[in-house]
Amino acid sequence: EADIYQTPRYLVIGTGKKITLECSQTMGHDKMYWYQQDPGMELHLIHYSYGVNSTEKGDLSSESTVSRIRTEHFPLTLESARPSHTSQYLCASRGGTANTEAFFGQGTRLTVV
């Protein structure tokens, strides 16, 4: 069973607020990812990290930022939430070589009103 956790599971917040979505894994994985997914739509990679102090932007442009100060944590921050940020955010991790499984958290469904 995957040990990767996202909090909160659901968040409804007003426009202009700063929010941080948490992602933690206890598997010691070096690679971590954030995906954005609208209902019924594809997953889009917005950030990834190869390890501590390593972060890169993904394919989909996002106003969010990430940090990787510790191996197990990969938080995503929106400085000023807007209704266009309403979506589901999925965190994933993978360890070892290229031939290892990726594991996903349960997601955070964000609604900005």
Residues forming contacts to another protein in the complex (CB under 8 A) are 2, 6, 31, 33, 42-43, 45, 48, 50, 56, 58-59, 88, 90, 92, 98-107, 109
Between residues 58 and 75, which has the closer beta carbon with respect to another protein?
Answer: 58
Tokens matching residue 108: 């955070």
Among all chains, which residue has been given the structure tokens 């990290």?
49
Q: How far is the CB of 36 from another protein (least distance, A)?
A: 12
Pairwise CA distance, residues 43 & 69, whole Å? 25
Between residues 46 and 112, which has the closer beta carbon with respect to another protein?
Answer: 46
- Cα distances (Å, whole numbers) of residue 81 to 29, 63, 76: 29, 9, 12
Between residues 13 and 103, which has the closer beta carbon with respect to another protein?
Answer: 103
Q: How far is the CB of 18 from another protein (least distance, A)?
A: 24
Q: Which residues contact 4 (CB under 8 A, 6 or more apart)?
A: 23, 24, 25, 26, 27, 91, 92, 93, 103, 104, 105
Between residues 16 and 91, which has the closer beta carbon with respect to another protein?
Answer: 91
Q: How far is the CB of 80 from another protein (least distance, A)?
A: 26
